[in-house]
Amino acid sequence: MITMNKILIDAFRNEVYEIKENFTYPKLGDAFVHLATKLIFDLDDNDAFKFCLVGVAGKEKGLMLLFQMSKIKN
């Protein structure tokens, strides 16, 4: 019997894989951050991608993302 949790987990996993492929993230973790950013801050994929790019060239993703989002929200 397939449970609702299994269905939701599979849908979430599929979305992460799709984002990884569509936006050419090198790791699934990067695609996960993209999806989390999109859902938490109610962004579209393009805006989430722009904010997730802050991790490029050795920058700290989490802190930079929160800093940038706080500037937009205020």
Instruction: Give tens-digit pLDDT for 44-62.
Output: 999 888 887 765 555 555 5
Predicted local distance difference test score (pLDDT) of residue 45: 94
* Angstrom distance (rounded) from CA 60 to CA 43: 21
Most confident of 10-14, 34-38, 66-70: 10-14
Q: pLDDT at residue 29 above 60?
A: yes
Taking a C-beta distance cutoff of 8 angstroms, is the pair 49, 23 a contact? yes
Mean pLDDT (the chain) is 80
Domain boundaries, the chain: 4-73
Confidence of residue 72 (pLDDT cuts 50, 70, 90): low
Residue type, position 52, single letter: C
Kindly give, in sequence order, each residue whose CB lies less than 8 Å from that of residue 29, ignoring residues fewer than 6 positions away.
none
